[in-house]
Amino acid sequence: MTMNILLLNAGSSSLKVTVMNAADGKVIARGSADWAGQVTRYQYSNSDGRSRTEEVSWSGHAKAVQRFMDDLPTTQRSALIAVGHRIVHGGQFTTSVRITPQVRERIMALTDLAPLHNPPSMATLAAAEAALPGMSHVAVFDTAFHATLYPESYTYPLPQKWTREWGIRRYGFHGLSHAYCAQRAAEMLATRPSDLPSRVVICHLGHGCSASAVKDGKCVDTTMGFTPLDGLMMGTRCGSIDPSIVLHVQQHNGLTVEQVDTALNRESGLLGVSGISGDMRQVLAAAKAGNEFARLAIGIYSHRVRQAIGSLAVTMGGIDALVFTAGVGEHAAEIRASVCEGLDCLGLELDGHANVECQPDTDIAATSSRGRIFVIATQEHVTMVREVTKVLEEKTKD
């Protein structure tokens, strides 16, 4: 009997959909919709390998769910046994859970901490529940992989009332991607003696960016913090800044809380510095054309990733492998080269030709490099289906 799981991965202005067989992990169908630009690009492919891409007039998560369900053949739709939802901020949730009204309320309460992410996930959930009434829905949290952070890593040096009573702490995000890449990197490092510790720094570089330190398969530190705004410079998010900047612009320039929130989340990062776009492809094109602000944006971006790699490597006492993943990490050879400049001090040497020509999953380190440099195609849906299956199996045992 075919038992399919529908996996919904909602971004701020996109939706990725995958249908997988719970038994063998085979991908039955895929779909994606992206309306970050002026038009919405929709793609659908089935297990027969046929794919179509088109520009459509609609946008939004509800419309995307509806269109995918319309395209999914009746036989595949009837074989669905559950729906998995990627939820960016899980707060105190450290494992995947079946979504109940109480769980939904707790996720909604975290909206202020992930304003670009949790609301789209809730909109996607509502659309999926309407399309598949009575189906089991499971929340898979991006924060869960980082539940193993050291106390020194997750505790902020703030008043105890803030940390103990108000729950202010580092949570970390992009956990589905980091979890998959940690396992894949371990497989690619399998030639190493098993008694040696595995120390991997994973750089998830997309519209959102984060890096993590994974020691022996467990995350011990990461760059994103209480919210997905912290850490590396991103497409439209600033990453780490002096917190007094926020106080300053409110006190001296009259900005409201809402205006500051919009500026830091939607108008900063690559977009803010370049003045062009939050899309790395457009910024790279402008830099090649001689735009000095685009060049500066790329310089800051690479500088901050490089800093994070050094910091995370030192946290683990060294580094055996560096991983690049996600949209920028997998496809922008120029950024990988820029980030790797000077990392020979950590024993990481890039092979320039391999970097330019690579297709994931590939080792692009020079032969002489002590540490390996991997480009890995992240597969968040693989982590999701494992988690959903685990929740369903626990329910069966009960």
The catalytic position among 34, 142, 351, 398 is 142
Which pTM does this prediction carry? 0.90
**Residue 178 parent element (H or E):** helix 175-188
- pLDDT, residue 193, reads 66
- Reduced to 3 states (helix: H, G, I; strand: E, B; else coil), residue 117 is coil
- pLDDT, residue 303, reads 98
Residues 6+ apart with CB under 8 A from 139: 85, 87, 90, 93, 96, 97, 98, 99, 103, 107
Integer CA distances (angstroms), 206 to 85, 101, 210, 255, in order: 20, 32, 9, 29
- pLDDT, residue 385, reads 93
Residue 255 CB-density burial (10 A; 0-12 exposed, 13-18 middle, 19+ buried): middle
Q: What is the pLDDT along the chain (398 residues), one digit of tens a residue?
A: 568 999 999 987 889 999 999 888 899 999 999 997 788 999 999 877 788 999 999 999 999 999 999 999 998 999 999 999 999 888 889 999 999 999 999 999 888 888 878 889 999 999 999 999 899 999 999 999 999 999 999 999 999 999 999 999 999 999 999 999 999 999 999 876 666 679 999 999 999 999 999 999 999 999 999 999 999 999 999 999 999 999 999 999 999 999 999 999 999 999 999 999 999 999 999 999 999 999 999 999 999 999 999 999 999 999 999 999 999 999 999 999 999 999 999 999 999 999 999 999 999 999 999 999 999 999 999 999 999 999 998 865 65
Domains of the chain, earliest start first: 4-141 (3.30.420.40), 190-375 (3.30.420.40)
- pLDDT, residue 195, reads 64
- pLDDT, residue 395, reads 65
Residue 214 CB-density burial (10 A; 0-12 exposed, 13-18 middle, 19+ buried): buried
- pLDDT, residue 394, reads 80
- pLDDT, residue 398, reads 54
Distance CA 178, CA 287 (A): 30
- pLDDT, residue 24, reads 85
Catalytic residue flag (residue 398): no
- Reduced to 3 states (helix: H, G, I; strand: E, B; else coil), residue 99 is coil
Instruction: Please name every residue paired with 98 in a beta bridge, in sequence order, or none if there are none.
Output: 138
| 356 token code pair | 């330019």
Distance CA 130, CA 87 (A): 19
- pLDDT, residue 129, reads 95
Distance CA 202, CA 50 (A): 33
- pLDDT, residue 1, reads 55
What's the CA dihedral at 357, 373, 216, 225 to 10 degrees? -90
